[in-house]
Chains A and B, each alone.
Chain A
């Protein structure tokens, strides 16, 4: 008898990822679960603003289109979908999916699990008053210092509520701020009945989740290693994990797709956004990335094994977003000859005018795109390049000052240095800034709830 294999496919690495990927993942070959990751830190505050304007919003709308494209696979072939598309409003997201299913005549085919409890915004004052100061992990300051500017506050929750939803028969699970890795680990934990203290296997599930959570970034996308020879990126195959009960798994992609799964492409994803590799802390387990073994296991197949984990901490990370002023970025393009010198002169002229106007900013940053924007002084001298984009950004609390800055770019076209173009985009727009306040909270004060809608 061969060992049971569970296949989890990644169909979305962030909100805005390739719309084709979810359907290609369920149609390109056998998969058991489709994992869709929609949430980045910035996403939660955007969704909160949307929900304030319309109480039926506040989730990742792209997910409804994704569900539409995979509905036949879910209804007819038993593929299950797990997504943190719920944002700050998982029940509204679930309602939209039910509406879609009704429209497609598939209402009877869906059992939607809805996970809530991560949203701490309505509870912030109660938490602060009852001795949870939500200290900033970087600065140590208590949240009370920015309380009146908070936009959203969500605890990163783990795999347990998703496992519960699957155990109760859900074939679509919608969460809010679940960790990205829990979306992959939960179905493995459910299928293989891993216990809550099965540290090594839980850690393996987390590593599988880290590999999948950025979509094609482990299967040839954004891969520096041998990038010229990575085949057919136009049809890049998103990654799939094939896991067994012992916690070992193989990373692969559907046959006939582009991209490449190699030990190098997987290693690049493993080190992405890594902190201390000995302690990759999640709500479920602390995984040790220095124990991961990678082995080439055939064409576009990498076997991953040997992963060790240890007991989770008694805290959850909380991501809090708060209003932090305004910014605007203006650009102009200067042409050969002496493009850089012209752009530098324009920058000096602009700054002198900002000074004369008495405008004060927290930060003014100038970059010369084509010369120094990505690597700064490390790039060395540029020579007489064909063109340089002058890119000036300002940031500050005074909206009117940032607004005034946006009016000072276009005049430079007629009253500044010569050989300038590239202003067709019009006046830069003023953006409201959102800052992040990372904090920890005791696990026991966050109660998740699972509802399964038939």
Chain B
């Protein structure tokens, strides 16, 4: 079953030099293990392919029901140099929430996950 990250998590992002960080937090604590299992470093790196020039790092914060991603080379040189509207990476948060996960039906049902709407 397709599950949109925006339906199961909230997020905030910020910058450090040319790196954007995105903290992704499960909307319900019981959804965190699913996030941790499915929202891998590789999945996030492929989501942002072409949009960042560096690697993706991933850290787990089970205490907050959260994952933290560092997106290197995301800000056109960083804060003050960047020509981007989002020079400080403030909305990489919702860019990550555009991601859709493939979750096995049984697992999705047992967790009560909302199904992604069919594309129009």
- Contact with A378, one of B23, B65, B95 (Cβ below 8 angstroms): B95
Q: How long is the Cα–Cα vector from A272 to B11 in the complex, in angstroms? A: 9
B62 located at the interface, meaning its Cβ lies under 8 Å from any Cβ of chain A in the complex = yes
A111 located at the interface, meaning its Cβ lies under 8 Å from any Cβ of chain B in the complex = no
Smallest Cβ-Cβ distance to A379: which chain B residue: B98
CB-defined contacts of A271 to chain B, threshold 8 Å: 12, 21, 23, 25, 61, 64, 66, 68
Interface residues of B in 80-103 (CB under 8 A from A): 80-81, 83-86, 91, 93-95, 98
Please give the number of chain A residues whose Cβ is less than 8 angstroms from any Cβ of chain B in the complex. 49
Given A327-B83, A438-B17; A378-B61 close (CB under 8 Å): no
Question: Does A267 lie within 8 Å of B59, measured CB to CB?
Answer: no
CB-defined contacts of B81 to chain A, threshold 8 Å: 324, 327, 395, 433, 435
- Contact with A275, one of B21, B27, B60, B65 (Cβ below 8 angstroms): B21
Given A225-B10, A268-B10, A292-B64; A275-B94 close (CB under 8 Å): no
CB-defined contacts of A276 to chain B, threshold 8 Å: 57, 59
Question: Does B83 lie within 8 Å of A224, measured CB to CB?
Answer: no
A222 located at the interface, meaning its Cβ lies under 8 Å from any Cβ of chain B in the complex = yes
CB-defined contacts of A269 to chain B, threshold 8 Å: 12
Question: Does A272 lie within 8 Å of B12, measured CB to CB?
Answer: yes
CB-defined contacts of B59 to chain A, threshold 8 Å: 274, 276-278
Q: How long is the Cα–Cα vector from A269 to B13 in the complex, in angstroms? A: 9
CB-defined contacts of B78 to chain A, threshold 8 Å: 435-436
A374 located at the interface, meaning its Cβ lies under 8 Å from any Cβ of chain B in the complex = yes
Interface residues of A in 36-86 (CB under 8 A from B): 41-42
CB-defined contacts of B38 to chain A, threshold 8 Å: none
Q: How long is the Cα–Cα vector from A275 to B61 in the complex, in angstroms? A: 12
Q: How long is the Cα–Cα vector from A437 to B84 in the complex, in angstroms? A: 20
Q: How long is the Cα–Cα vector from A134 to B16 in the complex, in angstroms? A: 19
A373 located at the interface, meaning its Cβ lies under 8 Å from any Cβ of chain B in the complex = yes
Question: Does A395 lie within 8 Å of B80, measured CB to CB?
Answer: no
Question: Does B25 lie within 8 Å of A264, measured CB to CB?
Answer: yes
Question: Does A375 lie within 8 Å of B64, measured CB to CB?
Answer: no
B51 located at the interface, meaning its Cβ lies under 8 Å from any Cβ of chain A in the complex = yes
B76 located at the interface, meaning its Cβ lies under 8 Å from any Cβ of chain A in the complex = yes
Q: How long is the Cα–Cα vector from A395 to B84 in the complex, in angstroms? A: 11
Question: Does A268 lie within 8 Å of B25, measured CB to CB?
Answer: yes
Interface residues of A in 288-338 (CB under 8 A from B): 289-294, 306, 324, 327, 329
Interface size class of B (residues with CB under 8 A): 35 or more
Smallest Cβ-Cβ distance to B60: which chain A residue: A290
Q: How long is the Cα–Cα vector from A433 to B70 in the complex, in angstroms? A: 25
How far apart are A452's CB and chain B's nearest CB, in angstroms? 35
Q: How long is the Cα–Cα vector from A391 to B81 in the complex, in angstroms? A: 16
Q: How long is the Cα–Cα vector from A269 to B14 in the complex, in angstroms? A: 10
Q: How long is the Cα–Cα vector from A224 to B11 in the complex, in angstroms? A: 7
CB-defined contacts of B80 to chain A, threshold 8 Å: 41-42, 433-436
* Max chain A Cβ within 10 angstroms of own Cβ: one of B23, B93, B95, B98: B23
B109 located at the interface, meaning its Cβ lies under 8 Å from any Cβ of chain A in the complex = no
Q: How long is the Cα–Cα vector from A43 to B80 in the complex, in angstroms? A: 11
Question: Does B83 lie within 8 Å of A394, measured CB to CB?
Answer: yes
Smallest Cβ-Cβ distance to A270: which chain B residue: B64
CB-defined contacts of A434 to chain B, threshold 8 Å: 80
CB-defined contacts of B84 to chain A, threshold 8 Å: 365, 367, 373, 393
Smallest Cβ-Cβ distance to B29: which chain A residue: A263
Q: How long is the Cα–Cα vector from A438 to B81 in the complex, in angstroms? A: 15
Given A363-B83, A365-B76; A294-B51 close (CB under 8 Å): no
CB-defined contacts of B60 to chain A, threshold 8 Å: 290
Q: How long is the Cα–Cα vector from A268 to B47 in the complex, in angstroms? A: 22
B117 located at the interface, meaning its Cβ lies under 8 Å from any Cβ of chain A in the complex = no
A377 located at the interface, meaning its Cβ lies under 8 Å from any Cβ of chain B in the complex = yes
CB-defined contacts of B112 to chain A, threshold 8 Å: none
Q: Produce 1/0 per residue, B45-58, CB < 8 A to A.
A: 00110110000010
CB-defined contacts of B16 to chain A, threshold 8 Å: 273, 275
Question: Does A378 lie within 8 Å of B51, measured CB to CB?
Answer: yes
B63 located at the interface, meaning its Cβ lies under 8 Å from any Cβ of chain A in the complex = yes
How far apart are B68's CB and chain A's nearest CB, in angstroms? 5
Q: How long is the Cα–Cα vector from A269 to B84 in the complex, in angstroms? A: 24
Smallest Cβ-Cβ distance to B22: which chain A residue: A271
CB-defined contacts of B21 to chain A, threshold 8 Å: 271-275
A129 located at the interface, meaning its Cβ lies under 8 Å from any Cβ of chain B in the complex = no
CB-defined contacts of B51 to chain A, threshold 8 Å: 376-378
CB-defined contacts of B25 to chain A, threshold 8 Å: 225, 264, 267-268, 271
Given A375-B95, A378-B51; A293-B63 close (CB under 8 Å): yes
Q: List 22 A-B contacts (CB under 8 A).
A: A268-B10, A268-B11, A268-B12, A271-B61, A271-B68, A273-B21, A274-B68, A276-B57, A290-B61, A292-B63, A294-B63, A324-B81, A327-B81, A327-B83, A329-B83, A373-B84, A374-B85, A374-B86, A374-B94, A374-B95, A436-B79, A438-B17
A274-B14, A290-B60, A379-B98 known, 11 other contacts, Cβ within 8 Å = A42-B79, A222-B12, A224-B10, A224-B94, A267-B23, A268-B23, A275-B16, A327-B81, A363-B83, A374-B91, A395-B81
In the A-B complex, the 8 residue pairs with the closest CB atoms: A271-B23, A393-B83, A273-B14, A365-B83, A268-B12, A225-B10, A373-B85, A375-B95
